[in-house]
Chain A
Amino acid sequence: MALWVDKHRPRELSKLDYHKEQAQHLINLSQQGDFPHLMFYGPSGAGKKTRIMCLLRELYGTGVERLRNETMTFTTPSNRKIEIMTVGSNYHLEVNPSDAGIHDRVVVVDLVKHVAQTHQLDPTGQREFKVIVLSEVDELTKDAQHALRRTMEKYVATCRIILCVNSTSRVIPAIRSRCLGIRVAAPTIDEIVGILSATCKKESLTLPNELAVQIAHKSERNLRRAILMVEACKVQQCPFTSNQSIADLDWQVFLKETANQIILEQSPAKLEKVRERLYELLSQGVPPDVIFKGLVENLVRNCDITIKAETVKLACLYEHRMQQGNKHIFHLEAFVANFMAVYKKFMNDALMLDEF
């Protein structure tokens, strides 16, 4: 527990730093002893997992913190063995079914049934139900989500399911309606600054307010990122100064450079270079929607006001199509090519106007 992110993570609902009203609601919910399926949704780094763990602790006591890693093996209908890592205690099980890729349906069906069908023999010491935490449910295939919806109803007596989702838009409505949605919004800049200062204080360091604000902005209100950044800053330069450089994320720098190259030159040869960079990003595991977002942000920042709307429209179109397709690189390149065409046309028009 050496990373500050883990070390200073709040463990009880009452000790949460922000969304305190919501925390109170959760306490009330857990005190009733029973609750429906929950769905925590919100952007990455907002504290969904933290809240889930706090809630579980509220329910079962400190026993949930005795975690262990387990590797479960599933067999697909096509006789392929899939290994899934799970983290669990005696009371709950946490799993990321989307690790199984297109075979996630098997994981959902087998795992949930396996856990849910075992009744608690002696319910005196604990609750009558176990909890399954499913993370990244929005990454699940439609098949898996459909498999989930019936199981959720069927085994409601013995298990509760807590879903952890980035965006509800990719969760099928059937599941959404079966869950109590809890939105965990990203912390505001002020909240982040407060948390960063408090963390540094615990580490007996002093963090200048300006630096904290800068980091908070740079982290895009992602608390995990912000804390990691502070830690990286500390490694770089220990007594903090207010104007010290903040560690950049490499992929962000790379994306920005890519966008600049697109603006610089619009030609097939350039497009090929851009493709290589996109391949590089994808192969490193950067999700394609993040690439889309990063590109659009940087492009829009640099281009003329008249084609900003057009750019965003194109990005929307191709991002949507990418979800329907399989080869992300095609759609990314299509977006870049179309932007190039739009940009080129705009530039040519501008030149024409100048000549007249």
Chain B
Amino acid sequence: MSHIPTEEEMFELMYDDELDIEMEMERENRAAEAQQQEDILSQVTVTDTPKQLPSGSSDHRPTDRQLNRRLFDNSSYAASGSSTPFVANSPKPLTPLTPFEPLRHLTSTQNQPSSQGPFGARKRCIEELFGDIHDIDDEDVRGAIKRQKTEEEIDLEMIERILELRKKRTVEERPTNCDDNDRKEALHKFKQHNLSTSIPKYPFIPVTSDGDRIYIRFHSEDFEDERIREIQCGKSVGSLMSTAAREAMWARANEMMAHRLITLTKPDVMTDNLVVNSSEEIPAVVTTDDSVDPNLWVEKYRPKRYLDLLSDESTNRNLLKWIKMWDKIVFQRDIDVKSLKKETVKFQQFKNFRRKERNTLNSDYDAHGRPIQKIALLCGAPGLGKTTLAHAIARHAGYNIVELNASDDRSPEAFKLALENGTQMKSFLGKDNRPNCIILDEIDGAPKQSIDFLIKFIGDNVSNKGKNKAKHFLRRPIICICNDMYVPALRQLRQEAFVVDINQMESGRLADRLQTICRREKVIADYSALLSLAEKSGNDIRSCLSMLEFFSRLGKPLTLIEVLQNDFGQKDMQKGLVPVLETVFQITNPRRTIKEDDKSSEKIISSADSSMKTRVDCVLDAIHMFGDYNLLVNGVYENYLTKKMPDPNMIGTAEATEWFCFTDRINQFINHRQNYSVYSYMQYGFVAWHLLFASLMWPKIFFPKQGFEFTKKANVNKAVVSSFKKGSCVTTRGVDDDRSAILDTIPLLRKIISPVIRTVSVELMCPKERSDLVHTVEVMVDHGLEYHHIKKQDGTFQWKLEPDIGTLCDFDCGFQPSKNYLTVQMISREVQIEKMRRAAPKFDGKVATKERRAGKENVPNHLRTLNLNSMANEERVTKLISKDIFGRVSTKSVPISVQDGGTDAIIKSSIWYKYKEGFNNAVRKDVTINNLL
């Protein structure tokens, strides 16, 4: 596009995602206004429907469809062509968060699937530049103000603005949506009561089509009118619709629901949309109770847009930045790297001070214009909205989402296929051809090979086989989602990826959202109850919503007592070692609990209870969840001494150590006898330690590693001792068992083998030095000790004892053996010589004499040749008797062949000369090892 951007457009380019958000918000504002009209529009249709239905004409099908279209005003719906729309309901028309779906079609935003066009990948650019022209005036003014500020200020302002608008939006939404919702709900219920797919109890007319049967309720004309008036009236009054009629309706809905629950045997009826009721004669498809919505709340209230996200703003922004960085290659559109960089740096400082190096977004591009970190890894506990975040952000950035989760085949082959399809192909069948973004959900469960492939894939190391040598390279963003990022299989991925930790959100924020939902769903719940619900579930949005839905189906108001009393919803969270230790060492803020009053059996909510009992319960809960008592004991053991002491007289400490002994003994008992009946006593040590050492302050916990280091060191030392024992000669019985070796032999041996010797040659030594040297050498050879020449890291050389008994029994206080380089070198040389000397004489002395006695001449090497094994030579085979190291006699026959021409004087001499072309070692001499010693 040969368009030279003006200044405003440049600005837009720089801050396009902020603008995106702003635009979105403006659209919504406009949408909210437009909604009024829509309401009126749909009112008309509503009034029409019931009148048409009871007429029960035989050509019901077009009527149905018409009804549908008018009801939901969704053209795409008609295309789905279902004859029984109440059975196969599309979720779209009923999601209250997007009640202005039609309007969004008109505005043709980038997020809308319907906004397809021939522009393809560059669609966004065009939109960005021309699409929202009417916004520009507005934008212009703001931009002018903004430009005078620094970028940081703009960012901050932006965040504030987003948050503010978000609040405003929720406030705005509440009345309108409630209103809208009420009406819809009532209508739906009305429909529910009048239409049924199973045989109803009331008078009805059956209507059949394609084997499906719908029963339409018979009502008197008056009743119909009354009901319709009621609904209309309800709309106009808004949320104040609490008349008797509504009460009755509510009651009926509940009654029906209860009925459903009883009749349907399947317990997970709420999750299933369709249950085939085969017991009845007529094969009818029964919808589960769709008095409200066929979807679960979790699905229904899943944030669809960036603004709806509940997770931490900086986390969202970081991920958004990352995905925007892909724009350069995906949409061929430049974004300002500099501004990105600044923002990432700032967001790092902002809030998340514990963020580590690897979590920072690397805002550099590689040679192909892709971000350096080609993959994003979202991790966090279940139910924090990781999947939602990934989907919302990918959609926001204009991608088509290809999801691959644990339910798919993730063998390496299937994985490869999916990845290649996702990144290299474009869907033509769908309604749009936006670029794909792959979301790999639940990747921590994938097989290692698949993840290895993924790493290769993002590293562009996968070359296509065959003729097509052109190397594939990744052009699409990939987002991975996992719960536990420390799974071994993910280790390598973790280093390559841009890791985003999804932290727990604040309970308050979640409770706010829950309250909104409650209001919308007409569940009576007070804020404190919601807050405690959020706390109870560990801020797991999913479980909170499920709980709320459960309560709403029960039809009871949600109170604090209900929340506290019920056992469900409590999240079985596995905490890490350090948090559990923190609970042991800290008096935690008391949680609200329920107390049963014995006399009146009334339930009292006690909030400020820090009694012994609650503290004990709290600690026990925490350690039960962790499970591994031994690790915990180690953790407590290595931390308890740094904690506040109960008294200066060490009595508390002494008591604590008693408990360590106790746990150790129990543990040993269990391991030894395999008797787990005493296992439950292990836990009470933690209670004791808690009561002794817990304080209100935040405890600083160190990860226990002392014990581990100790074991490692002990193993090394053990290995040294055993190699020392192996090395020593059989006759040296002074090295006894391990115990005496460590206690007596080795410490003294170290002194014996390091005598004080001047660094002079052996000839110049005084007799004492010489005898010391000889003795040292003998001892060292006996025990298989020798010095090795090693190069240190700084380049200097050093002699190292092998096996290194120098490190054994090496306490700081003790003596340091002299480590004079030259002395050690001399000793080492002598040791080597002594070793050879010991190995040699067995063959030197006796073999030689035997040979001499046999009268055979020593044949020089150069005269030896291989002869035919003739009979004559066989006689000359001499039996050689040799002894092995231990002096045992072993006989072996050595064939010796002697050439006859040994009379020559030259040949007899030990020095000879022979010309050999190409060799320079023509002069040779026989040298035995003895001559060298």
Stretch at the interface among B56-64, B135-143, B651-659: B651-659
- B736 interface hit (Cβ, 8 Å): yes
Q: Is the CB of B641 within 8 A of A290?
A: no
Q: Is the CB of B748 within 8 A of A249?
A: yes
Q: Is the CB of A286 within 8 A of B743?
A: yes
B695 CB to closest chain A CB (Å) equals: 14
CA distance A236 to B755 in the complex (A): 7
A248 CB to closest chain B CB (Å) equals: 7
Q: Is the CB of B752 within 8 A of A3?
A: yes
Scan residues 442-474 of chain B and give those whose CB is less than 8 A from a CB of chain A: none
Q: How many residues of B contact A (CB 8 A)?
A: 75
- Contact partner of A337 (CB less than 8 A), chosen from B653, B669, B747, is B653
- B671 interface hit (Cβ, 8 Å): yes
Q: Is the CB of B637 within 8 A of A238?
A: no
A-B interface, 5 closest residue pairs, ranked by CB to CB distance from nearest: A250-B814, A2-B778, A334-B657, A5-B734, A228-B748
Q: Is the CB of B734 within 8 A of A224?
A: yes
For residue A253, which residue of chain B has the nearest CB?
B813
Scan residues 665-706 of chain B and give those whose CB is less than 8 A from a CB of chain A: 665, 667-669, 671, 706
Task: Please classify how large the interface on chain A is, using the bins under 10, 10 to 19, 20 to 34, 35 or more.
Answer: 35 or more
For residue A239, which residue of chain B has the nearest CB?
B768
- B660 interface hit (Cβ, 8 Å): yes
For residue B742, which residue of chain A has the nearest CB?
A285
- B749 interface hit (Cβ, 8 Å): yes
Q: Is the CB of A224 within 8 A of B736?
A: yes
- A225 interface hit (Cβ, 8 Å): yes
- A214 interface hit (Cβ, 8 Å): no
Q: Is the CB of B814 within 8 A of A254?
A: yes
Known A-B contacts: A229-B748, A251-B747. Give 17 more (CB < 8 A).
Answer: A2-B781, A6-B733, A44-B743, A224-B744, A235-B752, A235-B754, A236-B756, A238-B768, A238-B772, A247-B748, A283-B713, A283-B717, A284-B742, A285-B808, A326-B667, A331-B661, A344-B649
Q: Is the CB of A267 within 8 A of B664?
A: no
For residue A249, which residue of chain B has the nearest CB?
B747
Q: Is the CB of A266 within 8 A of B650?
A: yes
18 contacts between A and B (CB under 8 A): A1-B729, A6-B782, A49-B733, A66-B888, A231-B752, A236-B751, A249-B748, A268-B645, A271-B653, A272-B641, A284-B810, A284-B811, A318-B661, A325-B661, A326-B664, A327-B660, A341-B649, A341-B653
Give the chain B neighbours of A326 by CB distance below 8 A. 664, 667-668, 671
Give the chain B neighbours of A272 by CB distance below 8 A. 641-642
- A35 interface hit (Cβ, 8 Å): no
- B98 interface hit (Cβ, 8 Å): no
CA distance A213 to B917 in the complex (A): 75
B737 CB to closest chain A CB (Å) equals: 5
B552 CB to closest chain A CB (Å) equals: 54
Give the chain A neighbours of B747 by CB distance below 8 A. 249-251
Give the chain B neighbours of A290 by CB distance below 8 A. 743
Q: Is the CB of B668 within 8 A of A325?
A: yes
Give the chain A neighbours of B353 by CB distance below 8 A. none
Q: Is the CB of B657 within 8 A of A87?
A: no
For residue A324, which residue of chain B has the nearest CB?
B665
Give the chain A neighbours of B768 by CB distance below 8 A. 238
B5 CB to closest chain A CB (Å) equals: 66
- A189 interface hit (Cβ, 8 Å): no
Give the chain B neighbours of A284 by CB distance below 8 A. 717, 742, 808-811
For residue A247, which residue of chain B has the nearest CB?
B751
Q: Is the CB of A283 within 8 A of B734?
A: no
Q: Is the CB of B744 within 8 A of A228?
A: yes
- Contact partner of B657 (CB less than 8 A), chosen from A5, A224, A228, A337, is A337
Scan residues 50-109 of chain A and give those whose CB is less than 8 A from a CB of chain B: 53, 66-69, 85, 87, 96, 99
CA distance A52 to B888 in the complex (A): 24
- B873 interface hit (Cβ, 8 Å): no
Scan residues 710-758 of chain B and give those whose CB is less than 8 A from a CB of chain A: 710, 713-714, 717-718, 721-722, 725-726, 729-734, 736-740, 742-745, 747-749, 751-752, 754-756
- A308 interface hit (Cβ, 8 Å): no
CA distance A225 to B740 in the complex (A): 9
For the A-B complex, the count of residue pairs with Cβ-Cβ distances under 8 Å equals: 213
CA distance A248 to B776 in the complex (A): 19
Q: Is the CB of A9 within 8 A of B752?
A: no
- The answer to whether residues A250 and B810 also contact, given A272-B641, A285-B714, A337-B654 and a CB cut-off of 8 A, is yes
- Contact partner of B660 (CB less than 8 A), chosen from A49, A235, A333, A344, is A333
**Chain A 318-339 near chain B by CB (<8 Å), digits 1 or 0:** 1001001111011101100110
B819 CB to closest chain A CB (Å) equals: 16
- The answer to whether residues A325 and B782 also contact, given A3-B752, A249-B747 and a CB cut-off of 8 A, is no
- A232 interface hit (Cβ, 8 Å): yes
Scan residues 251-279 of chain A and give those whose CB is less than 8 A from a CB of chain B: 251, 253-254, 257, 266-269, 271-272, 275, 279
Give the chain B neighbours of A344 by CB distance below 8 A. 648-650
A54 CB to closest chain B CB (Å) equals: 12
What residues make up the interface of A, taking CB atoms closer than 8 Å to B? 1-3, 5-6, 9, 44-45, 49, 53, 66-69, 85, 87, 96, 99, 135-136, 222, 224-225, 228-229, 231-232, 235-236, 238, 247-251, 253-254, 257, 266-269, 271-272, 275, 279-280, 282-287, 290, 318, 321, 324-327, 329-331, 333-334, 337-338, 340-341, 344-345, 348
For residue A326, which residue of chain B has the nearest CB?
B668
**Chain B 769-781 near chain A by CB (<8 Å), digits 1 or 0:** 0011001101101
Q: Is the CB of B731 within 8 A of A6?
A: yes
Q: Is the CB of A283 within 8 A of B714?
A: yes
Q: Is the CB of A286 within 8 A of B742?
A: yes
Give the chain B neighbours of A271 by CB distance below 8 A. 641, 650, 653
CA distance A235 to B733 in the complex (A): 21
A283 CB to closest chain B CB (Å) equals: 4
For residue B814, which residue of chain A has the nearest CB?
A250
CA distance A214 to B68 in the complex (A): 110
Give the chain B neighbours of A69 by CB distance below 8 A. 726, 730
Give the chain A neighbours of B211 by CB distance below 8 A. none
CA distance A53 to B731 in the complex (A): 12
Q: Is the CB of A66 within 8 A of B734?
A: no
Give the chain A neighbours of B751 by CB distance below 8 A. 232, 235-236, 247
- Contact partner of A253 (CB less than 8 A), chosen from B667, B668, B725, B814, is B814
Give the chain A neighbours of B671 by CB distance below 8 A. 326
Give the chain A neighbours of B886 by CB distance below 8 A. 66-68
Give the chain A neighbours of B664 by CB distance below 8 A. 325-327, 330-331
CA distance A269 to B755 in the complex (A): 40
For residue A232, which residue of chain B has the nearest CB?
B751
- B815 interface hit (Cβ, 8 Å): yes
Q: Is the CB of A1 within 8 A of B738?
A: no
- B887 interface hit (Cβ, 8 Å): yes
A258 CB to closest chain B CB (Å) equals: 10
**Chain B 605-625 near chain A by CB (<8 Å), digits 1 or 0:** 000000000000000000000
CA distance A222 to B641 in the complex (A): 39
CA distance A322 to B756 in the complex (A): 43
- The answer to whether residues A3 and B710 also contact, given A250-B747, A250-B813, A340-B654 and a CB cut-off of 8 A, is no
CA distance A266 to B641 in the complex (A): 12
- Contact partner of B734 (CB less than 8 A), chosen from A3, A87, A254, is A3
Q: Is the CB of B665 within 8 A of A268?
A: no
Q: Is the CB of B737 within 8 A of A334?
A: no
Give the chain A neighbours of B665 by CB distance below 8 A. 321, 324-325
Give the chain B neighbours of A318 by CB distance below 8 A. 661
Q: Is the CB of A228 within 8 A of B749?
A: yes
For residue B744, which residue of chain A has the nearest CB?
A225
Give the chain A neighbours of B744 by CB distance below 8 A. 44-45, 222, 224-225, 228, 249
Q: Is the CB of A2 within 8 A of B713?
A: no
CA distance A290 to B665 in the complex (A): 20
A4 CB to closest chain B CB (Å) equals: 8
B716 CB to closest chain A CB (Å) equals: 9
CA distance A6 to B775 in the complex (A): 13
Q: Is the CB of B811 within 8 A of A251?
A: yes
- Contact partner of B755 (CB less than 8 A), chosen from A235, A286, A327, A338, is A235
Q: Is the CB of B811 within 8 A of A228?
A: no
Give the chain B neighbours of A228 by CB distance below 8 A. 734, 744-745, 748-749, 752
